[in-house]
Structure formats: structure tokens, C-alpha cells
Structure 1
Amino acid sequence: MVSFLCWRELLRGQEARSPAIVIPSYWSTDTDSVCSQMGQGLWRVARNQQLQHQGYSGQGYLTREHGRRFATNSISNTSHRKQAQGGIDIYHLLKTRKSKEQEGFINLEMLPPELSFTILSYLNATDLCLASCVWQDLANDELLWQGLCKSTWGHCSIYNKNPPLGFSFRRLYMQLDEGSLTFNANPEEGVNYFMSKGILDDSPREIAKFIFCTRTLNWKKLRLYLDERRDVLDDLVTLHNFRNQFLPNALREFFRHIHAPEERGEYLETLITKFSHRFCACNPDLMRELGLSPDAVYVLCYSLILLSIDLTSPHVKNKMSKREFIRNTRRAAQNISEDFVGHLYDNIYLIGHVAA
């Protein structure tokens, strides 16, 4: 009877917690059947509670766990695909790099000679010397070094002579480079070096041609040399062709080859005088049409130089106007037309200094 009461209290407690539990109405028959039925009922209650608990929490856990695993698998698959894709890219890169390393540089000796020489002709002297370590026969070809010599030093007396025995344009390039460096340090010694090597003849005309076709000479040293060698300067001026050129543009070209001195003096007057005569000699029809003479061109050149300084100098605040330039220029040269002088002003105003 004690056990029956205990079972009864237990079932009531379970009923209070779970409304789904139903206590059978035949539990009060005899003790053995009641105990047997209550045992089965208790087992069912416990089992139902366990299933309900698993259905509530376990199912949610399984659902969350399943979602987490699905998300993890998705991320893992995505990461795996990215890694696989990146691995493929790296593989191709490594494969391409390996193939390039195996192939190495293009062998110019396997190409047609015309194509190989065209490729090497884009190299300077330093790079061509380095290329000769790999392609000795191609990089040491005389045609390549002849092109380098003539592209840097356009005129040399030795170009028009029969080359002596054992002559090499590569050696000539080294001598020309050495002579240019010597000239930039001491012009007289540089010219003597060229003559001692047979590169230049001892002639003002040949020296003037060499200077006119060379761009590696220091313009300050060249100005000092031409100031001392007026015979070379005369021949150098005659090498310019100013035909059909506008006066300011012709003056710019002249001072691009023969640099003007920094200060006004006898050398500047000499340069302008020689330019004026050469410009008139190159444009006789224009001089007759405009009524200009070498003296008038001389005046115009000085006016252009002064106007260039006035318009480009930051120290001059009140710039000369076009009307002032026309008035001042026509006072010095009355035969010059007003329109022509106005065009001169426009050229300096738009393009800039004539002796910069």
C-alpha cells in the first residue's frame, strides 16, 4: 500500500507537469495489476517525456547543427573552389615561367640577318657592347657601329676617305667619344685629338661641318672656341639655310647651333651681322619685296632680342605692348611695314625667346 501511494503521488506530479499524461481509471483494482499497469504507464510517461524533450531541444539542435554544417560545408566548398582556382592560376604562371626559363632569350642568330640587325640597331653603344657578349658576330658588325657613329657625329673627314687597313667603326666610335669629352674640357685639345687620329682634316670648313652635325659638344666651350676661331665661325654660318623661313624662326635656329653670349658685346654684334647677311643671301626675293637690307635685318634682330627679354623676364613688370614695339622698331627702320613688324611681335609673344 505504501508503494501504491508513492506511485500515485508520482503520477500526480507528472500529470501536473505534463497535461498529456492520462492516469488509467482501473488502477484501483488489485495491487499486482495496478502495479503492473502503473509500471507500464510510468514507462510510457518517461518515454513520452524523453521524446518530447528530444523533439523540442534535440530537433532544434539538430536543425541548427545541420544549418551550421551546411554553411560550413558551403564555405569550405567555396574556399576549396577558390583555392583550386588560385592553384590553377599559380600552376599556369609557374608553368609559363618555367617554359620561359627553359626557352631563355630569343636567339638572334636564328633570325634572318636583316631582322637581327634591325633589332640591334635600336641599342646604344653600351647596350650593344653588352649584346656582343652573347651575339658576338652580330653585335660587332660594322654596319651597326657605323650607324652609331653617323647618328651621333654626322660629319667626319674620315667618312669620305678610303678606310685604312684594320679600320673598325667600333674603334672609331670610341675615339669620337674620347675626342668629344676632350673637346668639352678643352676645345683646342679636342680638335687636335681628332686631327691626330685622322678623323678631321685641318681645315676650317671640315671643322665647321663637324661642329654643325654634332650635338654632344658643350655649348659654352663651343662658344669660346668660335670666338677665337672666326674662320671656323664664317664657314659655320654659311652652312645654315634660312630660305623661306620667318625671321624670328630663322634666328632661333641660328642660335640653336651657335649659342648667343650671355652679355651684349662685340661677339654678339658679330653673330647678328653674319646672320643678317646670310638671311638676306638665302631670301633675295623676299628682301626685294619687303625692301629690306642687311642693315634693316640687323636692326630687326636686335629689336627681337630686346622684345624677347622684355616679355620673358620676370623682372620686367610693365611689358612692352604691340603698339610700342611697332613704333620703336619703325623709328629705327622706317621702310619696314607696320604689318610685318606686328607679325614679329606676335611670334615672340606666342612662341617665346629667340635666343633661349
Structure 2
Amino acid sequence: MGQGLWRVARNQQLQQEGYSEHGYLTREQSRRMAASSISSTSHRKQVQGGIDLYHLLKARKSKEQEGFINLEKLPPELSFTILSYLNATDLCLASCVWQDLANDELLWQGLCKSTWGHCSIYNKNPPLGFSFRKLYMQLDEGSLTFNANPDEGVNYFMSKGILDDSPKEIAKFIFCTRTLNWKKLRIYLDERRDVLDDLVTLHNFRNQFLPNALREFFRHIHAPEERGEYLETLITKFSHRFCACNPDLTRELGLSPDAVYVLCYSLILLSIDLTSPHVKNKMSKREFIRNTRRAAQNISEDFVGHLYDNIYLIGHVAA
């Protein structure tokens, strides 16, 4: 046992001094072998690093060769299709690279008409020096002015020849535009009832269920936050327009403008009752039918029940 331990200790000492079990190595040979091993390892790392660097440079070079697609080398219809997906800001930036393409009148005409669907100037012979890019800037400026002061905004459009001084033209512009602030628009329509009358006639409620038609109406002409004369005016105008668009339906159901007026008020009250978190005891379907038929006796219970279901499932009519 003691001899075995002695051999192990002796072998470890010989290895440290440059010996091995099979022969003798000088310290110089040991150093050369170690240096050779280190050099080989270093060479492998350099080779590996060289391969990685080569692939990196190759990939970078290929990306530089690819770059951005040059739209001027594509067919014009394809280039215009690509640029048509850009908004006004991005199209202005694209004009720094592809000036002729990005400044094309058809692109800016599409931007104008997709944002402001109707302007009086669209139906006129364009004046000298007219461009749709300039028109877009004027329309954007006029919309911002309207959202600050509606009267000044409309006057700006008229001063630039964009809109004619006509209630019908103003109503068409409002109906086809979604960039106007609804609070300012509500104030403007309350003051300009002539524009409001023409705006109501632009709605088509044919074959629409009453609550859905009322929602569409209030999406364009926002209801006031409180009850009052303006809300009564809106509901009255809506009732007459709804009956005018659905003469057969109103005859079959026994509806009249007065009956639709009552139903609209009932739908608004029901919407508040069902959606308000402050009302704990919600109105039941039976209660709604009973209360509504007291005001509109000629309306069937089934129709009133469908009205309740619509508000219960879809939500507020004036949200």
C-alpha cells in the first residue's frame, strides 16, 4: 500500500520536471510542445475569426448592393401603386428621393379626395397654377382653423375657392369629411340650421332598423350632452327623414314621424338606463314594452321587443 502511494507521488514529480512513464523530455522540449500547442490554438482562432469576418463582410456587401428599390426603374403603374399607400407626410419625404414620382398630381388628388370627399373646387375648372398638393395643404390648414373656430374655418375655405357659399355645399363637405372636431361641428350646426337641414337630407336610412339608423345619424351629427331644444330638433328631423326613406315600412308597422319621435326618445332613455353604471335596477324588456306602448299605442309588442334586444346587445344609440 505504501509502495503504491510512493509511485503515484513519484510520477507526479517526474511529470512536473519533464519526465513521463515512457521516456524522458527535457524542459526545452516541453516548452516547445507547449508553444506549439498555443500557436496551433491561436491559429485556429484566427482562422475561425477570419471566416466569420469574411461572411460578415460578404453579407454587408450584398445588403449594400441591394439597398432600396429604385422606383424610377419600375413600371410607372407599379411605382404609383406603392406610393399611393403613403400618407401626406411620408409622400413629402419620398419626394426628396423620387421627386417626379412623389409629386404626381394623381397621388395628391387621391389623398385630397380620400380625406375630404367633397369640395366645390373638385367640380370646377382648375385655375392657373393649381396643384392638388397645394390644395391638400390648404384643406389641412382650413380643417385646423375650423377646429379652432368653425366660422373662420368655413370662411377660409370660401376665400381659397375651395367651397361655395351655399348651405348645400357646406353640408356635403361636412358629410364627407372626418377631420372636423365634433364638438365644434355641433356648435356650428346649432347656429346654422340651414346647413343642418341639408345635412339631414344627405342621409339614406332605407331598409335600416330604427336603432341602427339612429346610430348612423348621431355618428355624423353628434347629439348634445344634455336634453334641450337642439336635441328635440335633431330627433324631429331624423323622424321625418326616416319615414321619408321607408314609406313601405312605416305603412306596414303603422309608424308616423310622431311615433318615430317617441321611439327615438325611448331608445335614448333605454340606452342610458342599460349602459350607465349608476343605474343599479336596469329596465326589463317587459317594462320597456309597457312604457313605450303607452306613448305609441299603434306599435306592435314584437317590434318594441326587437328594439330592446338591439340596445341590450349592441349598446347606446348616441355613443
The two structures have a TM-score, normalised by structure 2, of 0.86
State the alpha-carbon separation in 1 of the partners of residues 188 and 309 from structure 2.
Answer: 35
**TM-fit CA distance, 1:75:** 14
**TM-fit CA distance, 1:101:** 2.0
Moved more, 162-171 or 57-66: 57-66
State the alpha-carbon separation in 1 of the partners of residues 51 and 16 from structure 2.
Answer: 50
**TM-fit CA distance, 1:105:** 1.4
4+ residue stretches of structure 1 with deviation over 4 A? 38-57, 59-91
The 3 A distance-change label for structure 1 pair 280 and 56 is same
SS at match of 1:60: coil
**8 A contact 2:17–2:27 mirrored in 1:** no
The 3 A distance-change label for structure 1 pair 102 and 288 is same
**8 A contact 2:18–2:26 mirrored in 1:** no
The 3 A distance-change label for structure 1 pair 50 and 154 is closer
Structure 1 gap segments, 5+ residues each? 1-37
SS at match of 2:204: coil
Residue correspondence of structure 1 range 22-101 to structure 2 within 5 A: 58=21, 91-101=54-64
Bigger radius of gyration among the two: 1
The 3 A distance-change label for structure 1 pair 133 and 323 is same
**TM-fit CA distance, 1:103:** 3.5
**8 A contact 2:200–2:237 mirrored in 1:** yes
The 3 A distance-change label for structure 1 pair 304 and 104 is same
2:67 is aligned to 104
State the alpha-carbon separation in 1 of the partners of residues 208 and 179 from structure 2.
Answer: 26
**8 A contact 2:117–2:173 mirrored in 1:** yes
**TM-fit CA distance, 1:72:** 15
**8 A contact 2:243–2:250 mirrored in 1:** yes
The 3 A distance-change label for structure 1 pair 227 and 49 is closer
State the alpha-carbon separation in 2 of the partners of residues 220 and 46 from structure 1.
Answer: 96
SS at match of 1:73: helix
2:78 is aligned to 115
State the alpha-carbon separation in 1 of the partners of residues 5 and 307 from structure 2.
Answer: 121
**TM-fit CA distance, 1:49:** 17
**8 A contact 2:273–2:283 mirrored in 1:** yes
Moved more, 51-60 or 228-237: 51-60
**TM-fit CA distance, 1:86:** 8.5
Moved more, 93-102 or 279-288: 93-102
**TM-fit CA distance, 1:106:** 1.1
State the alpha-carbon separation in 1 of the partners of residues 307 and 234 from structure 2.
Answer: 20
Structure 2 gap segments, 5+ residues each? none
The 3 A distance-change label for structure 1 pair 59 and 175 is same
Paired-residue identity, %:
94
**TM-fit CA distance, 1:61:** 13
**TM-fit CA distance, 1:258:** 0.3
State the alpha-carbon separation in 2 of the partners of residues 133 and 233 from structure 1.
Answer: 43
Q: 1:282-315: CA deviations, max 9, x gaps?
A: 1100001101101000000000000000011010
State the alpha-carbon separation in 2 of the partners of residues 120 and 224 from structure 1.
Answer: 38
The 3 A distance-change label for structure 1 pair 302 and 106 is same
State the alpha-carbon separation in 2 of the partners of residues 257 and 43 from structure 1.
Answer: 102
**TM-fit CA distance, 1:100:** 1.8
The 3 A distance-change label for structure 1 pair 55 and 219 is closer
Whose RCO is larger (CA < 8 A, sep 6+)?
Answer: 2
Q: Give the CA RMSD over aligned residues.
A: 5.8
The 3 A distance-change label for structure 1 pair 42 and 352 is closer
2:184 is aligned to 221
Matched length: 319
**TM-fit CA distance, 1:92:** 3.5
The 3 A distance-change label for structure 1 pair 277 and 95 is same
**TM-fit CA distance, 1:239:** 0.3
**8 A contact 2:18–2:30 mirrored in 1:** no
